[in-house]
Amino acid sequence: MSEVRVRFAPSPTGYLHIGSLRTALYDYLYAKNKGGKYILRIEDTDQTRYVDDSIEKMLEVLSWSGVIHDEGVFIEDGKLVQKGEYGPYIQSERLHIYKEYIEELLAKGHAYYCFCDKERLEKIREEQKEKGLMLGYDGYCRDISIEEAKKRIEAGEEYVIRLKLPKNRDIVFNDIIRGKITINTKDLDDQVLIKSDGFPTYHFAVVVDDYLMKITHIVRGEEWLPSAPKHAYLFEAFGWETPEFVHLPTVLNKEKKKLSKRHGDVSVEDFRAKGYLPEGLINYLALVGWSPEDNQEFFTMDQLIEQFSFDRVSNTGGVFDKDKLDWVNGHYIRNADVDELTKLAIPHLLNVGDITEEDVNNRYDWIKLLVSTLQERISYIAEIVEKAQFYFDNEVKPENEEVSEMLKGDQVPSLLLAFREELLQIDEVDDEFATTIMKKIQKSTGVKGKNLFMPIRSVLTGQLHGPDLDKIILILGKQNILSRIEYVENQLN
């Protein structure tokens, strides 16, 4: 068998959708599993939808995610470069190639010039709607000869070039996920291949590019399934071997509808900005539509490569469950290096004004300690702002009735008094104070266990559970703790 070659071929129309990243990931995993090549091609023939900088942004996000291609378009020293022997890898730079192949198709009688204007096309569409017929081009220009077409073009008439499908013929092709698929040409229309601006449509360019780039497996979303018979016929019309088709199930939201901007975050950039780790996002995304042979849930990229196959990809939509993503990502956060997490957390804490640039420069260890106390309690980095709030509030209110009841305990006034006395004897809280203070309070009040620790935690954090008390005491420092003791005493009085 020839070397496996797959491609991810996005359009530069803005952000990278989470479903597109999954397609790229499956491409990458399959190619690596088979010792093949994964290619990145840019499909920018629809110039009306082109968004500036979107190629650079997309490449940066793919690089962040760890889904790195072998051939195609890269960024080096801030510039776009192309690498590989089958370039150019940007479609708008391949127009001369498409021109050559459309001429071949016209000469073989598998394509024709069409001069129907917008008004006529809209009229036949309305008529088809009224009669309940399949919507599509009616073949009005199919029999115009090449000679007549050339004269009309020379006279300045606008035209497109369409595919000339055979009438009433079954087109049969295989899809690795869905099996054998048969579509009759009476259920298809003569697709536009070259638009009036001279640019190819996706349907033409994709077939020419996949052939010339020696693509063995066409991996894409199932929304392209209705177009696949036309593509299969184009391969046949050129006399080329058809690659294997792999149409992936759609990524759905919890309501089993297609994941879209209306339902919240869908771009990879959104998840990156919130502080999801690439390992967490990739691990979770791999499982949206693919199931491993056992029930393993956590995978390194190498493990995914080793186990991945299209045989275990579902033919029904995979549900993107943010709660499950949070759970998977939380696993990676708990196992991450604290310095790495601190670097990621600093912009979020700066953004809400919890810390200053001066803190970053002079109190880095204090910030790192704060992050480490919350490492077990966050699912993504941006969550640290909410979870750390009790460190920065001047007044800490009980988070529920249970905490309020805890603070009404008979022993609480004596605990607060003992705590204050210890604080007033020091200049600032250090490691030694933080690790010995509870024993000292126990000794002077005789209160121990739950009756000691839970009220003190409630005073300091407004919560009954959370990070280690010694770390909380060290982070809060003398003045903050005194303020909280005073606040609770005022409430009790």
d(CA 441, CA 464) in angstroms, rounded, equals: 19
**Phi, psi at 436, each rounded to 5°:** -110, -15
How many other CB atoms are there within 10 angstroms of residue 147's CB atom? Answer: 8
Task: Please give the pLDDT value at position 393.
Answer: 84
pLDDT band at 2 (very low <50, low <70, confident <90, very high): confident
pLDDT digits (tens, 9 = 90+) for 309-364: 999 999 999 999 999 999 999 999 999 999 999 999 999 999 999 999 999 999 99
Beta bridge partners of 174: 180
**Per-residue pLDDT for 49 more than 80?**
no
Angle at which helices 54-65 and 278-286 cross, to 10°: 90
Residues 6+ positions from 363 with CB-CB distance below 8 Å: 355
Share of the chain above pLDDT 90, in %: 88
pLDDT band at 258 (very low <50, low <70, confident <90, very high): confident
Please tell me the number of Cα atoms within 13 Å of 190 on its side-chain side: 23
d(CA 303, CA 50) in angstroms, rounded, equals: 37
Residue written as token pair 């703790």 = 481
Q: Is 78 exposed, middle or buried (0-12, 13-18, 19+ CB in 10 A)?
A: exposed
d(CA 104, CA 113) in angstroms, rounded, equals: 13
> Per-residue b/e over 455-487, b at no fewer than 16 CB within 10 Å?
bbbbbbbbbbebbebbbbbbbbbeebbeebbeb
d(CA 275, CA 329) in angstroms, rounded, equals: 10
Question: CATH fold of 401-492, please?
Answer: Arc Repressor Mutant, subunit A (1.10.10)
What is the pTM for the complete model shown? 0.92
Same fold yes or no, 5-91+251-322 and 401-492: no
**Per-residue pLDDT for 414 more than 80?**
yes
**CATH match of 5-91+251-322 with 3.40.50.2300:** no
Q: Which of 261, 397, 443, 450 is catalytic?
A: 261
The mean pLDDT value of the chain amounts to 94
pLDDT band at 396 (very low <50, low <70, confident <90, very high): confident
Provide mean pLDDT across the span 379-396. Answer: 92
d(CA 162, CA 150) in angstroms, rounded, equals: 15
Domain residue spans of the chain: 5-91+251-322, 94-248, 336-385, 401-492
Task: Please give the pLDDT value at position 479.
Answer: 94
pLDDT digits (tens, 9 = 90+) for 200-225: 999 999 999 999 999 999 999 999 99
If phi over 0 gives left and psi between -120 and 50 gives alpha, with beta otherwise, what is residue 323?
A: alpha
pLDDT digits (tens, 9 = 90+) for 423-482: 999 999 999 999 999 999 999 999 999 999 999 999 999 999 989 999 999 999 999 999
Task: Please give the pLDDT value at position 105.
Answer: 97
Check if 387 is active-site.
Answer: no
Instruction: Report whether 186 contacts 168 (CB < 8 A).
Output: yes
Provide mean pLDDT across the span 153-167. Answer: 97
Task: Please give the pLDDT value at position 259.
Answer: 83
Which 3 state secondary structure label does DSSP give 189?
coil
Task: Please give the pLDDT value at position 127.
Answer: 94
Angle at 346 between CA 345 and CA 348, to 5 degrees: 70
Instruction: Report whether 80 contacts 190 (CB < 8 A).
Output: no
Question: CATH fold of 94-248, please?
Answer: Rossmann fold (3.40.50)
pLDDT digits (tens, 9 = 90+) for 238-253: 999 999 999 999 999 8
Task: Please give the pLDDT value at position 257.
Answer: 87
> Higher-confidence residue: 255 or 160?
160
